[in-house]
Amino acid sequence: MAELVSLREAVAELVHDGDTVALEGFTHLIPYAAGHELVRQGRRDLTLVRMTPDVIYDQLIGMGCARKLVFSWGGNPGVGSLRRFRDAVENGWPAPLELEEHSHAEMAAAYAAGAANLPFGVLRAEARDGLARIACPFTGEELAAVRALRPDVGIVHAQRADRSGNVQLWGIVGVQREVVLASRRSLVTVEEVVEELEPVPGAAVLPHWVVTAVAEVPRGAHPSYAHGYYERDNAFYRAWDEIAADRDRFGAWMRENVLSA
Amino acid sequence: MAVAAARRVRDGDVVFVGIGLPSTACNLARRTHAPGCVLVYESGTIGAKPTRLPLSIGDGELAETADLVVSVPELFAYWLQGGRIDVGFLGAAQIDRFANLNSTVIGDYDRPRVRLPGAGGAPEIARHCREVVVVMRHAPRAFVERLDFRTSSGERVTAVITDLGVLEPDPATRELVLTELQPGATVEAARAATGWPLRVAPAVRRCDPPTAAELAALHALEAA
């Protein structure tokens, strides 16, 4: 388990057309480099899953990689909307995008259920699309059920791993652990591979035997941040609004900065 | 608006904070009359004490200064659904007279005129916080007779803070009633900015203007 490979090999091996892929990060440790590799390898027809799709999802959607999006909040935090996401939903460009929409609480519960090998998560929520009504078998109280999320591939970024592929991440860990544990196959990109993982207060560890592949990708979260390594590139997020506003400008930017990289 | 929203936070309140104005308001409250309030961000940072306004809910300083950082599933289950949050702040693109909110679509769901970001934490914040304060700019395209989509319920909303004043729900009917006006705002302006026949309290209070201390704290936060 936890093969140390190049990012290119990992994506080629683990992600296939038509897969359900979750690239997770809650503002922090967003796996941009991995997302870019999906674009470079021309993956198509993906069901993309993410609680908070941001610029990397705008890019994947705009490049036609996605058939469907499972999400709860899609925007460019602090800046505005995701132009390519909106173009796909409002105008079907570059292709129609099917949406499966949830709340944060639903998706969090769905990932946790997937990680726990359960078919659904339970929460207190009012009746709405995508949720089923259930009654507590002990008290009869009415609750809501959300189908578990079990992606084909879970991709996250972390600060470091050791040579055996044990992964360590700290700061805002979001839903990273759940997504790795809920997915059939997982890829963790890391800032660095070290000889030994020094303990860090509050750090989460994913042991090598629950991770499929680890790839060393320094700055693999840029323009998002990696706590202890580099800050969020807020200027990039702001600049993205204009880059993505125009289809041709977007395409040119992607060719220049992602496809030819 | 930030000052009016900040005043809704009582000292010791546990507050669920979103980005933008609510974050400014809660940090302002912590610097002024509510030093004991606890800031909870949906990124999992509980008891964050940032020295400057975070640009996003996932800012590194929130994690560094927090009493504890938990996973997002834990945050929504143990802390929000678990009933441990006193006040939640929400904003939206549209609001109706019962403080139901829309942050999903303008137009039809299947082919919207404008696709908005979506629900995020809103449905559960609206349902599980002991009370909810909405902060929005007062305009007819936001304050609508009928929402294009119902993202969250107004059941626990206790106040809607706008740039014109404050609306509070009628205890019996839950319909929003204008109860306060910001300095310089008028009832006529509030009515004109509302897309339904706005109910107005018999004696509308005038919001106290921001104090020197509140303004100083706000400027310090914004300049940091």
**For A17-46, how does the pLDDT look when each residue is reduced to its tens digit (9 = 90+)?**
999 999 999 999 999 999 999 999 999 999
Work out the pLDDT band at B20, boundaries 50, 70, 90: confident
Cα nearest neighbour of B122 on chain A: A103
Q: Return the H-helix or E-strand segment holding B55.
A: none
Q: How many domains does chain A have?
A: 1
pTM of the model: 0.96
Nearest CB to A109 within list B19, B77, B127: B77
Asked if A72's CB is within 8 angstroms of B43's CB, the reply is: no
CATH code of residue B218 = 3.40.1080.10
- Find the domain containing A66 and state its range: 3-259
Work out the pLDDT band at B222, boundaries 50, 70, 90: confident
Active-site position among B42, B124, B180, B214 = B42
User: Strand A20-23 relative to strand A46-49: parallel, antiparallel, unpaired?
Assistant: parallel
Decide if pLDDT at B4 tops 70.
yes
User: Å from B77 to nearest chain A CA?
Assistant: 7
Q: Which residue has the tokens 């939903």?
A: A89
Condensed to tens digits (0 to 9), the pLDDT of residues A209-256 reads 999 999 999 999 999 999 999 999 999 999 999 999 999 999 999 999
d(CA A6, CA A187): 11
- Going A100 to A102 to A104 to A110, the CA torsion angle's sign is negative
Q: Does A51 touch chain B (CB under 8 A)?
A: yes
Q: Does A231 touch chain B (CB under 8 A)?
A: yes
Q: Does A164 touch chain B (CB under 8 A)?
A: no
Condensed to tens digits (0 to 9), the pLDDT of residues B39-73 reads 999 999 999 998 888 877 788 889 999 999 999 99
Mutate to test the interface with B, among A97, A100, A103 (most CBs of B within 10 A): A103
Tell me, what's the pLDDT at A76? 94
Eight-state DSSP code of residue B187:
H
The answer to whether A56 touches A46, Cβ cutoff 8 Å, is no
| Category of B146 on φ-ψ map: left (φ > 0), alpha (ψ -120 to 50) or beta | beta
- Find the domain containing B37 and state its range: 2-223
Work out the pLDDT band at B217, boundaries 50, 70, 90: very high
Tell me, what's the pLDDT at B52? 85
| Category of A207 on φ-ψ map: left (φ > 0), alpha (ψ -120 to 50) or beta | beta
Work out the pLDDT band at B19, boundaries 50, 70, 90: confident
Cα nearest neighbour of A53 on chain B: B117
In this prediction, the answer to ipTM > 0.85 reads yes
User: Å from B57 to nearest chain A CA?
Assistant: 7
Q: What is the mean pLDDT of chain B?
A: 95
Tell me, what's the pLDDT at A201? 86
Q: Does A63 touch chain B (CB under 8 A)?
A: no
User: If DSSP states are collapsed to H, E and C, what string results for A1-50?
Assistant: CCEECCHHHHHHHHCCCCCEEEECCCCECCCHHHHHHHHHCCCCCEEEEC
Decide if pLDDT at B160 tops 70.
yes
Mutate to test the interface with B, among A104, A159, A229, A236 (most CBs of B within 10 A): A104
- Degrees (nearest 5) of the Cα angle A8, A11, A13? 105
User: Among B29-33, B49-53, B123-127, which is the least confidently predicted range?
Assistant: B49-53
Would you call B40 exposed, middle or buried from its count of C-beta atoms within 10 A (0-12, 13-18, 19+)? buried
CATH code of residue A131 = 3.40.1080.10
Please give the share of chain B, as a percent, with pLDDT higher than 70.
Answer: 100
d(CA B57, CA B71): 14
Average the pLDDT over B121-149 and give the result: 97
Residues of chain A where predicted confidence (pLDDT) is lower than 50: none
Tell me, what's the pLDDT at A127? 78
Tell me, what's the pLDDT at A1? 65
d(CA A30, CA B56): 14
Asked if B153's CB is within 8 angstroms of A126's CB, the reply is: yes
Nearest CB to B118 within list A26, A27, A72: A72
Let me know if B145 is a catalytic residue.
no
Asked if A225's CB is within 8 angstroms of B73's CB, the reply is: no
Average the pLDDT over B162-174 and give the result: 97
User: Strand B94-95 relative to strand A3-4: parallel, antiparallel, unpaired?
Assistant: unpaired
Instruction: Pull the structure tokens for residue A201.
Output: 């207060």
